[in-house]
Structure 1
């Protein structure tokens, strides 16, 4: 069971007019993973308390609030404050769920062949079609849920480099996903939305026989996925939404630093804490389109534990908190200097699971 709440606020200020604020609240609901072999708490830029690339121990969340493999479920409303703004509709929102994976493990090498299923819905974006910004207004918004499937590969290696010290590295290819046909007038490449490639290097140190300290560095290449990386300008003036060069979210690549500590107080109880940090991926010039996806948080604090009931079963709990961050920039579709948009977000997340081993 997985539940998350994310609060995002967007404020737009126009000189001579009253200051306005709208808030949207996003709440993730139950998230089912389709793992053929279920693996709890992975840390591949996932968003939650995750496993180190080196050891598989508790690490921490990446900054975008997203899984580099797309493993999250969210609904984020997009609200605007001025009547002439394109995103004026209160109902504007994106909904996205994803699941998938297959895990195999050898003594010192890891290989994962991954299969993913995405489910997506957008509402309240008709104004982009009315103003002629979409190449296919009929497949821009309010078309219900659409699905996308795809495949990729993750490779890794790990080994003990000194007594009690393990070094690991992994690379996940870009996940080639099928297009969201019902939203080919929104995303670049006629509905394309591939999952970006990631690379991770991790180090684990067994401080004592019952405790381990882990450190990871992860890189996520958002810039290689047009629907994520294409900037709003000049693209929206040169090609419509949905075209190969259509506007996207303008996200930049991310480098994330993660620190985690795991210790056992008995054979039945294992505890974990984690911290991660990294610059958020949204530049000031891209705040308008990112009202739909205000992933501006930069720090995440995590805590969790596992209670081993017996040799065949256990249950786990994890919590995450991301302090509020904000990014401000001009509205590029209005007269320069007339309007400033501020995106704010904070997040917290709770997860509970039960595992039966056989």
Structure 2
């Protein structure tokens, strides 16, 4: 029964998210996104409060429900080159994925004078995905047979050549994570609150080709969409001085998942199964907030622990030429937001998010399915307070990777004691991207 409910929620909030900070969404909902994701100590709306610090929902003394829906567009580009006797041979491939929906729903039950506040949420909090089409403009296949349709004047990207020509063909990934949380905050005093939030997670992963599976003589297989269920929690502290200054801290534990079980189909139509473990990393957040009559300032710092997370901590080739994991490093995220309330019923917001890159140069090749890493993100948002119960929110986001993530092509056939990852001398692979998004939200406050 529990699995059926989770699957129904997942289908309702199915998202193809391309995240900005590693594979983590920088914010949830139009208000929180417009503040750069900062809300650990500045709970301006219930979605941001639930996402980053369950203790901060104590700031809400009403029953409120909020729904956000956005459209997200990314434009990653994949480059590669290989050495030849006549010099480097290479090209690029543009992603043709299109737009992805981004929904979020949350509700908080608060009551003035009560020490207890409750919340519930269903958020798409994580994801990555690319669609790089196969490039059939190749000179010859691995058997030395020349391609009579090859045109040297047209773009050729070796990494997207068909597998029988030494590439990976059509490269596609689709990872999505829906998190359902139940939040509780308790006011120890009128200034200090603690909070807890148990989470149930539902994830889906699809890979083409599937590098976590062993290749056969014809190459790597494609997979169906595999799913996994995970569990975790989040704990928070929130302090409101009552004089404008606010402080917050939270810790989201690693979300531990069951294994993805892939049904693989190889290029020769043979089939096999494999499993892959991929959890969601622990996140530690610190926040500072300050409010005056016309301004709200928010500043958050996060540390994401990829190095101790299954699926991300390991890297390299297994003995059977499959990929052991993504090999990501820990990252730091800085989120900042400013809200101006000087216009009646029309608060304006500006946000910025900085994220370090989790992908080391030496494992760039292993991370082609997860290129969605944005270094700088900029947001502008606003709200319109229709009346005492209804409020409408909107945000526009733009992000860029600030240059390419670049490394060498890798092959298990090139492994040696001095070259443990099998880097191919003279080769290169890189990717970069920009993102844009428009999102709208509506919230309703129940009258007392």
Deviation at 1:320, TM superposition (A): 1.3
User: 2:173 matched to 1:94?
Assistant: yes
Distance 1:115 1:267 in 2: 40
Is there any run of 5+ residues in structure 2 with no aligned partner, and where?
Answer: 1-68, 110-122, 135-156, 188-192, 266-273, 415-422
Q: Matched residue of 1:88: which SS?
A: coil
Deviation at 1:231, TM superposition (A): 1.6
Higher relative contact order (CA 8 A, sep 6+): 2
Distance 1:38 1:25 in 2: 39
Aligned equivalent of 2:222? 141
Equivalent pair of 2:258/2:277 in contact (CA under 8 Å): yes
Q: Matched residue of 2:406: which SS?
A: strand
Distance 1:125 1:79 in 2: 15
Aligned equivalent of 1:351? 439
Distance 1:303 1:203, change over 3 A: same
Alignment counterpart, residue 328 of structure 1, candidates 402, 406, 411: 406
Task: Show CA shifts across 1:189-245 (max 9, x none).
Answer: 932221111010000112x2121111111001111122123222xxx143654xxxx
Q: TM-score, normalised by structure 1?
A: 0.77
Deviation at 1:309, TM superposition (A): 1.1
Aligned equivalent of 1:199? 284
Q: Matched residue of 1:170: which SS?
A: strand
Q: Runs of 4+ in structure 1 displaced over 6 angstroms?
A: none
Distance 1:87 1:26 in 2: 20
Task: Show CA shifts across 1:248-288 (max 9, x none).
Answer: 11111101111111121345222211112132111111111
Distance 2:321 2:105 in 1: 35
Distance 1:31 1:279 in 2: 23
RMSD: 3.0
Structure with higher Rg: it is: 2
After TM superposition, the structure 1 = structure 2 runs for residues 276-291 of structure 1, keeping only pairs within 5 Å, are 276-291=353-368
Task: Show CA shifts across 1:30-50 (max 9, x none).
Answer: 234465x379xxxxxxxxxxx
Equivalent pair of 1:326/1:343 in contact (CA under 8 Å): yes
Q: Matched residue of 1:248: which SS?
A: coil
Q: Matched residue of 1:174: which SS?
A: coil
Is there any run of 5+ residues in structure 1 with no aligned partner, and where?
Answer: 40-68
Q: TM-score, normalised by structure 2?
A: 0.63
Q: Matched residue of 1:76: which SS?
A: strand
